[in-house]
Amino acid sequence: MADTLESVYSFSVETLDGRVARLADFKGKVLLIVNTASQCGFTPQYAGLEALYRTYKQSGLEVLGFPCNQFGGQEPGTAADIGMFCERNYGVSFPMFAKIDVNGEKAHPLYRFLKKEKPGLLGPLGS
């Protein structure tokens, strides 16, 4: 949840293993925040995201993955399933967070904030 809606760093999010992570811990880094799904046509994005992360992590890039099951039920697994899939199939080492909603009434406050701050940037599904 957000302490204030001043910046992305105001939010705390749950990790795949149930811990709370503060986005303030990423302050000073470039954040690429993506919603993901393990069973969709874009699933190979994990390989590209991981390559990007490994290439630029030392330069301050952080890829933050947020699984979402809102698009055709393409992320039905548990947190443990998601973590194992990402690691086993794509060697994902960037931070992955608990499954969230990115649209609608139950959209995570972080995604509500992102869409409010940059309308249209998230594409037609993000508006």
User: To which residue do tokens 């995201």 refer?
Assistant: 49
The widest CA-to-CA distance across the chain, in whole angstroms, is 37
Residues, the chain: 127
Cβ burial 28-45 (10 Å sphere, 16+ → b, else e): eeeeebbbbbbeeeebeb
Q: Quick check: is 40 catalytic? A: yes
Q: Which of 34, 40, 61, 122 is catalytic?
A: 40
Q: Which residues have a catalytic role annotated?
A: 40
